[in-house]
C-alpha cells in the first residue's frame, strides 16, 4: 500500500477481492455484476438463489449467467478481463461426499455455504441438523474445500441478538473439535464473542466482516424510527460489539478479511411492512471500509484486510492491479435503477462519505 503522508489524503491498495457477495440472478445481474466488477477482482458468490446452487452443474450455469451479464455491461474492458466470480455450493440435507469431490475438482467452486434452515433470505433449503453432515464435512476436509457458515442458531426461543453467540457455543465448537483441519470462514461476524472465538482458533478458521457491522450498531437501525436499509441478518448488535469488530478488522490479524455481504433487494421490498434483510453496498463498499478504518486512525491497515488476507486464506495469488482512494467527499447515490423498472437503495443512500475512489 502507498500512502502520501502520516495522515494520508490518498491511499493506493492492491485491487481488493470480495469474499462474500450476493449478485442474485436473472434481471438483477445487469446491475449487481458491473457494480462488483468495477471494484473487485475475485468475488465469492452466494448460492441462495431460487432454486439454490446445489451442485457443480448448477454452479457452472450460474457462473455463465454472471459472465453473460458482465459481457453485456458497459464497464471498462480491463475490469471485465480481471473479474473472476468464484462459485459456492448451497449445502442441504442431501449434499453428498461425491458432490464435494466434484466441486473441488471443478476449478470454479471455491467453497460450500452452510445456512441453518431459516437463518436468512432464501435459506429454507438449508441444513436442519448440522451435525448430521459429518460425511460432507469429512469430504471437505479431504479435498481442502472451505466451509462458509452463516453462524446463527434459528430456534424460536433464542433472542435474535443472542443467536450468533449460541451458535459458537453449541455448534462451532463441536465442528472444529470433530474436524480439526477443516477450513472454516465465519461469515459476516457481528459480535466481539465471534471475533474472540476466531482469534482463539488455528489458522484454518477465519472470518469476514461487512461495512455495516463496522460502521453501525442497532441504535442506528432503531433509534428515531426503524431504518429498513440498516436491517440485515445477522442483525446489527450493540455499540460494544461494533467497536470489537473495528478493533479486529484494523488489527492486522490475517484471520479477518473483507466480505461485504452486499445483498440487493428492490426498494419497495425493503421499505415494506415485512422488509427484506440485507444491505446493498457493492458499488460503494471501498469508501465505506475506508471511512470505517479511518474513524479509528487505522487507514494504513486497510490493504491487508481488503487485498491480502483473504487471498492468503484461500491459497490464491494476490492481485497485481491497484486502486486509489482519496479523501474527497462523495455523495452516495439515492438509488440505482434496478430490473423490471424498480429501484435499488444502497447503504447510506443520499449521505456523504469522506472517502471516494479516484478515477
Active site (catalytic) residues: 261
Does 157 appear as a known binding residue? no
Q: What ranges make up the beta strands (E) of 22-119?
A: 42-45, 84-90, 109-114
* Residue 106: all three cell numbers together: 471443478
* Residue 39: all three cell numbers together: 471494484
Gap between the Cα atoms of 229 and 296, Å rounded: 24
Does 261 appear as a known binding residue? yes
The alpha carbon of residue 328 and the mean position of all alpha carbons in its chain are separated, in whole angstroms, by 26
Task: Please give the full DSSP string across 216-257, using - where no structure is assigned.
Answer: --HHHHHTTS--GGG--SSPP--HHHHHHHHHHHTTT-TTEE
Does 38 appear as a known binding residue? no
Does 220 appear as a known binding residue? no
Beta bridge partners, 213, equal none
15 Cβ contact list (under 8 Å, min separation 6): 40, 41, 82, 307, 319, 320, 321, 322, 323
Does 265 appear as a known binding residue? yes
Give the strands of the sheet with 184-186, arranged side by side: 18-21, 42-45, 84-90, 109-114, 147-149, 184-186, 205-209, 256-258
Does 233 appear as a known binding residue? yes
Which residue bears the cell 441462495?
Answer: 48
Task: With residue 58 as reference, give the H or E element that holds it.
Answer: helix 56-72
Of 45, 41, 39, nearest in space to 24 by CA:
45
Beta bridge partners, 11, equal 3, 325
The alpha carbon of residue 17 and the mean position of all alpha carbons in its chain are separated, in whole angstroms, by 10
Task: Please give the full DSSP string across 251-308, using - where no structure is assigned.
Answer: TT-TTEEE---B---BHHHHSSTTPPP----GGGHHHHHHHHHHHTT-GGGHHIIIII
Does 229 appear as a known binding residue? no
Does 22 appear as a known binding residue? yes
Does 35 appear as a known binding residue? no
* Annotated binding-site residue numbers: 20, 22-24, 48, 113, 150, 188, 233, 261, 265, 277
* Annotated binding-site residue numbers for Zn(2+): 20, 22, 113, 150, 188, 261
* Annotated binding-site residue numbers for substrate: 22-24, 48, 150, 233, 265, 277
Amino acid at each position: 500500500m502507498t500512502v502520501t503522508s502520516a495522515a494520508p489524503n490518498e491511499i493506493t491498495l492492491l485491487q481488493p477481492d470480495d469474499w462474500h457477495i450476493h449478485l442474485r440472478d436473472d434481471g438483477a445481474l445487469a446491475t449487481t455484476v458491473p457494480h462488483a466488477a468495477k471494484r473487485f477482482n475475485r468475488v465469492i458468490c452466494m448460492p441462495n438463489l431460487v432454486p439454490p446452487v446445489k451442485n457443480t452443474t448448477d454452479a457452472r450455469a450460474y457462473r455463465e449467467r454472471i459472465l453473460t451479464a458482465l459481457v453485456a455491461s458497459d464497464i471498462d474492458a480491463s475490469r471485465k478481463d480481471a473479474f473472476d466470480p468464484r462459485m459456492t455450493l448451497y449445502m442441504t440435507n442431501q449434499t453428498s461426499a461425491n458432490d464435494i469431490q466434484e466441486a473441488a475438482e471443478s476449478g470454479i467452486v471455491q467453497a460450500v455455504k452452510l445456512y441453518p434452515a431459516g437463518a436468512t433470505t432464501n435459506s429454507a433449503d438449508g441444513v436442519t441438523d448440522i451435525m448430521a453432515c459429518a460425511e460432507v464435512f469429512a469430504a471437505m476436509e479431504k479435498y481442502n474445500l472451505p466451509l462458509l457458515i452463516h453462524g446463527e442458531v434459528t430456534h424460536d426461543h433464542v433472542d435474535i441478538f443472542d443467536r450468533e453467540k449460541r451458535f459458537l457455543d453449541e455448534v462451532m465448537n463441536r465442528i472444529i473439535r470433530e474436524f480439526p483441519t477443516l477450513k472454516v470462514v465465519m461469515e459476516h461476524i457481528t459480535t466481539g464473542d465471534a471475533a474472540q472465538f476466531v482469534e482463539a482458533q488455528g489458522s484454518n478458521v477465519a472470518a469476514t466482516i461487512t461495512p455495516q457491522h463496522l460502521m453501525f450498531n442497532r441504535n442506528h437501525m432503531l433509534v428515531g424510527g426503524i431504518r429498513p436499509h440498516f436491517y440485515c441478518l445477522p442483525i446489527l448488535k450493540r455499540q460494544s460489539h461494533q467497536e470489537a469488530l473495528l478493533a479486529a478488522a484494523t488489527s492486522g490479524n490475517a484471520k479477518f478479511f473483507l466480505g461485504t455481504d452486499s445483498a440487493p433487494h428492490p426498494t419497495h421490498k425493503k421499505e415494506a411492512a415485512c422488509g427484506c434483510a440485507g444491505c446493498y453496498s457493492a458499488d460503494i463498499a471501498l469508501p465505506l471500509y475506508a471511512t470505517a478504518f479511518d474513524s479509528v486512525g487505522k487507514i494504513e491497515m486497510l490493504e491487508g484486510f481488503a487485498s491480502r488476507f483473504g487471498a492468503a486464506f484461500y491459497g490464491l495469488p494476490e492481485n497485481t492491479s491497484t486502486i486509489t482512494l482519496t479523501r474527497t467527499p462523495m455523495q452516495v447515490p439515492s438509488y440505482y435503477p434496478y430490473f423490471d423498472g424498480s429501484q435499488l437503495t444502497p447503504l447510506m443512500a443520499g449521505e456523504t462519505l469522506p472517502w471516494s475512489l479516484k478515477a
